Amino acid sequence: MASMKIHGAEAIMVAVIFLAAVLPSHASTTVDEPANYYKPTAPAPPPPAPYSSPPPQVQPVIVVHGVIYCKYCRLRGYNSGMEASPLPNATVSLVCYGDEESKYRVLNQTSTAADENGYFIVMVYDLEMFDRHSCRVYLRSSPTPLCAKPFLPSNPKLGLTLVRDRKATPPRGARGVFHPRPEALMYTPGTGAKCPPPY
């Protein structure tokens, strides 16, 4: 029995020595722990975003673009070959006539106001409605009564047909780029009317 007790005491002593060696002292934790080395210098990782934003979706679109000019007037940007000048702020309508499949809906979109080069654009997101064969481009508005008589098309109820623009670089998401044929729509001064003053 006595020897058993001695053995028990020895076992406890061994355990205490073992634990002392294994458990780090306070000194060793502050000096040797990698966490304490790196915490001050390493930047905190960014907190996880509450909602991770999905990659930006590019909405499919059809682009119709062209130019609007004022025929027979020498304004800024006059083109002698065309005998016409860009007509800034004029607009066109793109009208697409739906078929049975689209329940005969009619899409009627106004272009951007023409810029200083007469350039306009229409972005069509209602792709179901776009079929180049059933869409037409019409003169819609002139910025000045001095150049507001429809010239091309001369009958404002007859729109221009569309053709695919193969030279254009399609913007992101574009399923197609089209322009009217001919590419330039035109207003002109009414009979006997003067051109707008050059600006």
Residues near ligand NAG, by CB under 6 A: 88-89, 93, 95, 106, 108, 143, 199
Contact 71, 84 (CB under 8 A): yes
Q: Identify which of residues 9 and 106 has a Cβ nearer to ligand NAG in the complex.
A: 106
State the minimum distance, in angstroms, from the CB of residue 171 to ligand NAG. 24
State the minimum distance, in angstroms, from the CB of residue 41 to ligand NAG. 57
Q: Identify which of residues 150 and 173 has a Cβ nearer to ligand NAG in the complex.
A: 150
Tokens of 164: 């695919």
State the minimum distance, in angstroms, from the CB of residue 44 to ligand NAG. 50
The DSSP result for 127-164, as a single string, is GGG--GGGEEEEEEE-S-GGG-EEEETSSTTSPBEEEE
Q: Identify which of residues 104 and 199 has a Cβ nearer to ligand NAG in the complex.
A: 199
Burial (CB < 10 A; 0-12, 13-18, 19+), residue 40, is: exposed
Q: Identify which of residues 143 and 180 has a Cβ nearer to ligand NAG in the complex.
A: 143
State the minimum distance, in angstroms, from the CB of residue 143 to ligand NAG. 5
Distance CA 113, CA 85 (A): 15
AA letter at 152 = L
Beta bridge partners of 107: 96
